[in-house]
C-alpha cells in the first residue's frame, strides 16, 4: 500500500456523550483509521476500542493526520491551537469557540499553518435540510420571505459552559443562513434564566438576513417535548422540515377555492397541493465525517469552514448582547 493509499490516521479529543458518537462513526469510516482518543478522564464507560491517552500532545505524537474535537466549548481554542501547531487538520464541534476573539485566533492559526479545519454544524447534513437547501437554490419556492425554527427539549446535563444560545441556537443560526444563502445583518432577542444556572436556558430571536428575509427562532432547554422544525415561507408556499424524522413537506399556495362554507371557516378560503418528499435518509454525523475526510484528502467537499463557524459565533454573540440590552444589534457592530 502506497502512502497515498493508506488510511488517514484520525484522533479524537473528548470521549463524552458526543465523543462516543464520533468514535463510533470514525471506527467504521472508509479510508480512515481511528488510532487513539485523548481524554484526561480516561475511558469511564469501558467502551473505547482504541488506546486512551491523557493529552493532546500524546495524541499528536501518534502521527495522526486529523483530529475531531468533541470537548466542552471552553476548551476548543486551547486544543485547536495545539493541533494547528502540531500540523494536524481538525474538525471542531460547534460552536467554534465561546467568543469571537477566541474563534478568530483559531481561524488565524489554521490558515497560517495551511491546514484544513471545519466546524461540526451537523444540521447541514440532515437529509431534510439538504433537500430543502437544494430546492431553495433551484428556486422552487420563488422569493423567500421568512424562516421560522423551533428547537426545544429537556436540559442536557452534559452542557455546563455555555447557554442555550451558543449551544442549541447556533444550529438554527447556521442552517438558516445556509439554506437561504444569506447572511444575518441584525438581531433582537429575549432570553430567560429559569433553571438557576448562570447561562440562559430559553431564548426568542428575531433576525434579518440580507435586506428582506426575516427569521424567528424559539429555543429552550425547558420543555419535556423534543422538537426540531424549520419552516421556510416564500412566494409559492412553504417548506416544512422536521429534522428529528428527516421529513420534508411542501405546502403550495392555495389554488382551489373552498366552496363549502362551514369547512372554509376551519381550513381557509383556498387549498393547495401538499407533497411529502421521499428522500434518502443517511445519518448526518456519518455524512459530516465523509465530507471532512474528503476535504483532508484534497477532494472537492462541502464542509463548514472556520470562517462560517466564526460568523455563527458573531451572530450568537449579537443575540446575547441584544437580549442583555433589549436593543437591536447589527452583526457587523458586535465587539470581539
How high is the pLDDT of residue 11? Answer: 98
Q: What is the pLDDT of residues 177-206, one digit of tens each?
A: 999 999 999 999 999 998 888 889 999 999
String of b and e for 209-248 (b: at least 16 CB within 10 Å)? beeebebbbbbbbeeeeeebbbbbbbebbbbbbbbeebbb
The segment(s) of the chain belonging to CATH 3.40.50.720 are 8-123+286-303
> Looking at per-residue confidence, does 333 or 23 come out higher?
23
Condensed to tens digits (0 to 9), the pLDDT of residues 277-303 reads: 999 999 999 999 999 999 999 999 999
pLDDT value of residue 254: 78
Residues of the chain with CATH 3.30.360.10: 125-281+313-333
Fold of the domain spanning 125-281+313-333: Dihydrodipicolinate Reductase; domain 2 (3.30.360)
* Nearest to 224, CA basis, from 153, 144, 322: 153
Q: CA of 284: how far to CAs of 76, 164, 213, 291, 336, in Å?
A: 22, 22, 27, 11, 31
When pLDDT is cut at 50, 70 and 90, the band that residue 2 belongs to is: very low
Considering the four listed CATH numbers 3.40.50.970, 3.20.20.70, 1.10.3720.10, 3.40.50.720, the one that applies to the domain covering 8-123+286-303 is 3.40.50.720
pTM listed for this prediction: 0.92
Amino acid at each position: 500500500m502506497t502512502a497515498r493509499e493508506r488510511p488517514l490516521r484520525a484522533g479524537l479529543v473528548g470521549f463524552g456523550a458526543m465523543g462516543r458518537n464520533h468514535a463510533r462513526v470514525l471506527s467504521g469510516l472508509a479510508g480512515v483509521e481511528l488510532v487513539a482518543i485523548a481524554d484526561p478522564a480516561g475511558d469511564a464507560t469501558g467502551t473505547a476500542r482504541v488506546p486512551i491517552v491523557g493529552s493532546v500532545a500524546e495524541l499528536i505524537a501518534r502521527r495522526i493526520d486529523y483530529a475531531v474535537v468533541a470537548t466542552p466549548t471552553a476548551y476548543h481554542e486551547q486544543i485547536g491551537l495545539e493541533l494547528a501547531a502540531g500540523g494536524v487538520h481538525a474538525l471542531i464541534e460547534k460552536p467554534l469557540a465561546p467568543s469571537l476573539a477566541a474563534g478568530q485566533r483559531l481561524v488565524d492559526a489554521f490558515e497560517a499553518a495551511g491546514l484544513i479545519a471545519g466546524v461540526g454544524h451537523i444540521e447541514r447534513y440532515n437529509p431534510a435540510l439538504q433537500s430543502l437547501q437544494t430546492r431553495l437554490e433551484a428556486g422552487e419556492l420563488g422569493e423567500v420571505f421568512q424562516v421560522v425554527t423551533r428547537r426545544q427539549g429537556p436540559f442536557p446535563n452534559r452542557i455546563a459552559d455555555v447557554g442555550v444560545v451558543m449551544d442549541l441556537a447556533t444550529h438554527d443560526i447556521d442552517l438558516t443562513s445556509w439554506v437561504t444563502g444569506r447572511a444575518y445583518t441584525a438581531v433582537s432577542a429575549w432570553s430567560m434564566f429559569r433553571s438557576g444556572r448562570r447561562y440562559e436556558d430559553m431564548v426568542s430571536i428575531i433576525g434579518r438576513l440580507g435586506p428582506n428575509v426575516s427569521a424567528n427562532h424559539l429555543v429552550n432547554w425547558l420543555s419535556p417535548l423534543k422538537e426540531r422544525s424549520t419552516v421556510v415561507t416564500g412566494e409559492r408556499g412553504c417548506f416544512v422540515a422536521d429534522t428529528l424524522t428527516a421529513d420534508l413537506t411542501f405546502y403550495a399556495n392555495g389554488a382551489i377555492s373552498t366552496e363549502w362554507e362551514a369547512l372554509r371557516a376551519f381550513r381557509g378560503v383556498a387549498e393547495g397541493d401538499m407533497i411529502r418528499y421521499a428522500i434518502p435518509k443517511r445519518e448526518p454525523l456519518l455524512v459530516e465525517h465523509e465530507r471532512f475526510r474528503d476535504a483532508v484528502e484534497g477532494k472537492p467537499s462541502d464542509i463548514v469552514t472556520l470562517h462560517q463557524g466564526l460568523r455563527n459565533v458573531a451572530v450568537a454573540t449579537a443575540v446575547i448582547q441584544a437580549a442583555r440590552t433589549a436593543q437591536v444589534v447589527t452583526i457587523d457592530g458586535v465587539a470581539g
